[in-house]
Structure 1
């Protein structure tokens, strides 16, 4: 049965798993939960990132034959911080290959948006999930 304790996997392609790992691990502070590489035809390299205690993780698919990323400005990964965004965190994300970008009046008011090396957008929101609308 689907309910509030169900685990969530967010999967998307990456053109450079090493660059994505630097951004999400060195920059954001996620853990590498799983990694696999393959040279078999039709198979993909996988990198799963998250926090071990979280009920979600980010799966990045790369390698030969994987789909080319095609992010839009609305492909957002939003993390609700329930407080101010630490400028040191933004600096780490930028040093790890991210680019701070404007998003929209709503998200610019309630947080900071950083584009990852594949062009997907990470929003660090000052709001809490309970007051997000």
Structure 2
């Protein structure tokens, strides 16, 4: 197996409400809709692929009316975004208006270096003020 810096990564999660998730991740965080599939039949899955154009990863959210899969996030399932600067108060207010809920982090490290928000399905994202250097 040859994993390298160009290896594509897809993080797939179930969603109870793709429209609410889209408000949080697209309208709130600023991700782009890379692909969308709306189920036409009950057995199909609707999906929403989110990310940024040209990057080697994306977040895929799925939903099926006939295959109910409940999201099962824990307090330590995190999507960490390294911003390289503190989160502005108006940015935080905007994310909350888009369906995010600010929550304390399980690991206090994330409260020291960022802000943790729970999305409409209960998954947590950390907006970290630190930079990531490879």
TM over 0.5: yes
Coarse TM-score class (shorter-chain normalised): over 0.9
Q: 2:71 aligns with which of 66, 69, 72?
A: 69
Q: What is the rounded CA distance, in whole Å, between the counterparts of 1:4 and 1:10 in structure 2? A: 16
User: Is 1:21 matched with 2:7?
Assistant: no
- Cα deviation for residue 63 of structure 1 reads 2.6
Aligned residue number for residue 32 of structure 1 = 33
When normalised by structure 2's length, the TM-score is: 0.92
Q: Is 1:89 matched with 2:91? A: yes
1: distance between equivalents of 2:15 and 2:104?
A: 22
Q: CA RMSD in A?
A: 1.4
Residue aligning to 1:78: 80
For residues 9 and 131 of structure 2, what CA distance do their matches in structure 1 show?
19
Structure 2 gaps of 5+ residues are none
Q: TM-score, normalised by structure 1?
A: 0.92
> What is the CA deviation profile of residues 33-91 of structure 1, one whole-angstrom value per residue up to 9, with x for unaligned ones?
10001133432100001111222111000131141101110110000111211222211
